Amino acid sequence: MSALFTRNRLIGLAIAALIAIVDQAVKWYVVGPLALRQVGRIDLLPFFDLTYTENKGISLGMFQAYDMETRWLLVALTAGIALVVLVWMMREKAMGEIAGLALILGGALGNIRDRFDLGYVIDYADFHIGTFRPFLIFNIADAAITIGVVIILARSLLVRDKADTETGEAPRGERQDA
């Protein structure tokens, strides 16, 4: 096996592919057999519904793409970000970072496919507490991206400081007294 395709990186690529495939399969199911586009909303649990939305923007609905130029600009921008994440993932060695980046990459690929094929991203997961909605309506790709970012942030804040302490170095921002 070459140095580029280590076991952890291959697992990362498999995770990314799995996330993208599951995301697309669930979107197909909610739009196809469940006919969520026509129904609009399906009440499932007191705190979770399926609600069809078309997100023409990117994260949190920002930068809405109402024309073809902006649509393709967003496709190019998100594809560029996905490429950066892929390169970053292929440079990492630790499974923790690779897993977080794989979630981000898989989610990005799922949403890029929607935007490329449809011009918008299909969102459907509607978590709420009564009328309070702590999140916008989202999809599996969005959830994977969010979880991946949290993993990367947590590891960057916690794991490296722990490693520094184990090697006898002071964590960033702290001094060791002699």
Is the per-residue pLDDT at 43 higher than 90? Answer: yes
List, for residues 114-140, the tens digit of each pLDDT value.
999 999 999 999 999 888 887 789 999
Averaged pLDDT for residues 105-109? 97
How far apart CA 40 and CA 20 sit, in angstroms, is 24
Point out the catalytic residue in the list 23, 114, 126, 142. 142
Q: How confident is the model at residue 61 (pLDDT cuts 50, 70, 90)?
A: low
pLDDT of residue 83: 97
Is the per-residue pLDDT at 156 higher than 60? Answer: yes
Is the per-residue pLDDT at 31 higher than 50? Answer: yes
Is the per-residue pLDDT at 149 higher than 90? Answer: yes
Averaged pLDDT for residues 13-22? 98
Q: Where are the domains of the chain?
A: 7-166
User: What is the number of other CB atoms lying within 10 angstroms of the CB of residue 137?
Assistant: 20
CB 78 within 8 A of CB 108: yes
How far apart CA 76 and CA 60 sit, in angstroms, is 18
Instruction: Examine the residue annotation and report whether 117 is marked as an active-site residue of this protein.
Output: no
SS3 (DSSP) at 122: strand
Instruction: Examine the residue annotation and report whether 123 is marked as an active-site residue of this protein.
Output: yes
Q: How confident is the model at residue 1 (pLDDT cuts 50, 70, 90)?
A: low
Highest mean pLDDT among 31-35, 53-57, 62-66, 154-158: 31-35
pLDDT of residue 177: 46
Averaged pLDDT for residues 91-117? 96
Point out the catalytic residue in the list 123, 161, 164, 177. 123
